[in-house]
A = this chain, B = another copy of it.
């Protein structure tokens, strides 16, 4: 699939020859977002190939759920790639993007119940920033010490959209939902043990929230929440600019 030079054992092949559909380059036009690579489970060769093609097309590229090993593979072909060990994001930003950082627009609040949700939170915050939104981090404000959250009410009320990230019983989103007038994107995390069922319990809590204004994305899907939050942030900044 990704031609390598080493002598091949001709008894061993890797799939029938197949011409992949071209990448979905018009996506940016259609949706306003460039394609982001979901790295987990992708073999190195394939990853290098897709990072290179997207970089060449867009002048920047981002991948989520990357292992340190995958980062090394990407860095071999894109030496400017940077990696964050908490969010597990690989990024090559364009010069303009780097500049842009100083003027990230709007306001997305990223909240977590506990420190164990940090990885998902940083995936969300850094994704939002990659897409040009300003991310305000409000971490470790779980509901078992509700005064910590209430102390942040002013910050919460300045956001155009709030991402509420929680594992275990996931009650954070409900309490936030009662404090603000903007949409809350709830992200259940796989943090917890026993009857936490890898995030299902938190997901159910959030889907059943007694508060209004809450919608839910998949377990640990910080990227997805940031995508939606950016859509909302952009609408708040300049109204609908659908293509």
Residues of chain A touching chain B, judged by Cβ–Cβ distance below 8 Å, are: 11-16, 18, 20-21, 24, 27, 30-33, 40-42, 46, 71, 75, 81-87, 107, 113-116, 118, 122, 125-126, 137, 139-146, 148, 150, 157-160, 168-171, 174-175, 177-183, 185, 188, 190-221, 224-225, 227-228, 231-232, 235-237, 239-243
Q: A181-B31, A231-B183 are in contact. Are A171 and B143 (CB under 8 A)?
A: yes
CA distance A212 to B139 in the complex (A): 20
Given A11-B75, A193-B220, A241-B181: A31 and B168 within 8 A (CB)? no
Instruction: Give every chain B residue within 8 A of A208 (Cβ-Cβ).
Output: 168-169, 192, 194-196, 201-202, 218
Measured in the bound complex, the distance between the Cα atoms of B236 and A200 in whole Å is 33
The 8 closest A-B pairs by CB, nearest first: A194-B219, A171-B171, A144-B211, A215-B215, A15-B86, A201-B204, A144-B178, A235-B236
Chain B residues in 8 Å Cβ range of A12: 71, 82-85
- Given known contacts A122-B16, A178-B144, A235-B182, A203 and B210 CB-to-CB distance under 8 angstroms: no
- On whether the beta carbons of B218 and A193 are closer than 8 Å, the reply is yes
B21, B157, B178: which contacts A242 (Cβ < 8 A)? Answer: B157
Minimal Cβ-Cβ distance residue in B for A125:
B16
A11 to chain B: closest residue by CB: B82
Contacting pair A210 B40 (CB below 8 A): no
- B21 and A148 form a contact (CB under 8 A): yes
Most buried by B among A41, A115, A183: A183
- Residues on B with beta carbons closer than 8 Å to the beta carbon of A113: 210
Chain B residue at minimum C-beta to C-beta distance from A40 = B193
Q: Are A217 and B215 in contact (CB under 8 A)?
A: yes
- For A174, what are the chain B residues with a Cβ–Cβ distance below 8 Å? 143-144, 169, 171
Decide: B210 and A114 in contact? CB cutoff 8 A: yes
Smallest beta-carbon distance A101→chain B, Å: 11
Contact A194 B221 (CB under 8 A): yes
Chain B residue nearest to A32 in the complex (CB): B181
Chain B residues, Cβ within 8 Å of A148: 21, 24
